[in-house]
Structure 1
Amino acid sequence: MNPKGKNPMSRHLQSSSLLAAAVGLALLQAGPAWALYKVVAPDGRVTYTDRPPSDRPAATLKTNGTVAATTGLPFELQKVANQYPVTFYSSTKCPPCDAARQMLQSRGIPYTEKTVETSEDILTLQKREGVQQLPVLKVGSKQLVGFAQADWVGYLDAAGYPAKSALPASYKQPPATPLVPPDIKAAVPEPLRLQADT
């Protein structure tokens, strides 16, 4: 027995238990690292699985349980959009951004548009994508900076997107959203400004 009356093994077990609890909590908060699909059978039965069915469309669920934006797309387009999601970074008063958006829409590419308007947006774009120029297109993990239609078409073709729109008539492009949401911008303090001596 320890002269102070404390067992050194109990201290080791206690610290191990705390470490295991911290790791377990971190894993619970992280959520699943794989895709989760909601499959509705012809008879209406709903199944959740980590593998997409090969014979019919399935809704991809986000880790928070909401359905991903590719729901309602034709099966082949849904598969491509899930594997190679398209993100388009744009700004107002940007003619190349307007031309790029028009090309994506006329080709029927489902995409997420993030607008870069504020200094917070610009800093976030620089950190996230390492660029200071717009427009930016992400097709899966591939990045294109600036609008060169032939390059964009080539990347979309390589990803497997159809050359002509396969979007259903009922499809509505989600509205563009700021790269940095307004509630986060409100939490960021204004930069310090120096006053001139008078």
Structure 2
Amino acid sequence: MQHLRLTPKTLALLVGHGLLLVAGSVAAQTVYRSVGPDGRVTFSDRPPPPTAAGQATARPSPQGSASASGPALPYALQQVVNRFPVTLYTGADCTPCDSARQLLLARGVPFTERTVNSNDDIEALRRLSGDTSLPFGSIGGQQLKGFSDLEWSQFLDAAGYPSTSQLPAQYRPAAPTPLVAVRTPMAPASATAPPAPAKAAPAPPPAPPNPAGITF
């Protein structure tokens, strides 16, 4: 599977020759998310191989048509989201991460935010980007390491994201989630109830009276 790698220059040329109109013909298709054995997350318009249960799992593009229960995105913006989904990887106490997030929010860019806090998160980020520096972002197949307002803005412009927000007033971004899902430990099996105490043996019946009338 080939990934389209964005550069401001190449996308500007594509727009100039009208080739993005051809690419747009697949924009309405479902975007599938698959995780390889090495932990790398890839996006494609082709379904991944069947899972162990025999089902191919479809994943809507990040923020899909809207947030979890919010209104649908404007059509033109939805087309861009389908072609060039944006994912932001952030950490705690990371000022550049806050700046990257603020840029996306100010421009009204729907994005998925993944937090990198645990050792598992850090290792997954290393496999994904080849580094552990934050913030880290992706716009379609283009990776952005560190934050530069100018660089990020150029790639967002080249992908076709609007410079000012076009999101519905009721739109709310989804909450950030860990890069590696937290597994909740299974509750231990409940202890077997102790067996009920054995019933006491019934008392023997009283001896019958001495028929012979013998006393001692």
Interval of TM-score (by shorter of Structure 1 and Structure 2): 0.5 to 0.7
Query: Under a length normalisation based on structure 2, what TM-score does the superposition of the two structures give?
Result: 0.56
Contact preservation (8 Å) 1:89, 1:135: yes
**Could you say which structure has the greater relative contact order, defined with CA pairs below 8 angstroms and 6 or more residues apart?**
2
Query: Under a length normalisation based on structure 1, what TM-score does the superposition of the two structures give?
Result: 0.61
Q: CA RMSD in A?
A: 2.6
Helix, strand or coil for the counterpart of 1:138?
strand
Is it true that 1:70 corresponds to 2:36 in the alignment?
Answer: no
Counterparts of 1:143 and 1:170, CA distance in 2: 30
Counterparts of 1:86 and 1:180, CA distance in 2: 18
Contact preservation (8 Å) 1:60, 1:70: no
| Letter paired with 1:182 | V
Counterparts of 2:84 and 2:139, CA distance in 1: 6
Helix, strand or coil for the counterpart of 2:183?
helix
Contact preservation (8 Å) 1:59, 1:70: no
Aligned to 1:181: 181
User: Which sections of structure 1, spanning at least 5 residues, go unmatched?
Assistant: 1-51, 188-198
Displacement of 1:53 in angstroms is 8.0
Displacement of 1:175 in angstroms is 0.5
Counterparts of 1:95 and 1:84, CA distance in 2: 25
Q: In the comparison of the two structures, how many residue pairs are matched?
A: 134
Helix, strand or coil for the counterpart of 1:167?
coil
Counterparts of 1:160 and 1:67, CA distance in 2: 20
Tell me the alpha carbon deviations over residues 119-167 of structure 1, each in whole angstroms, 9 at most, x when there is no partner: 1100000001112110011000001111100000000000000111111
**Structure 1 residues 174 and 128, CA, compared in 2 at 3 Å: closer, same or farther?**
same
Displacement of 1:65 in angstroms is 5.2
Aligned to 1:80: 80
| Letter paired with 2:137 | L
User: Which sections of structure 2, spanning at least 5 residues, go unmatched?
Assistant: 1-23, 33-55, 66-71, 187-216
**Structure 1 residues 67 and 136, CA, compared in 2 at 3 Å: closer, same or farther?**
closer
Aligned to 2:12: none
Aligned-pair identity in percent equals 41
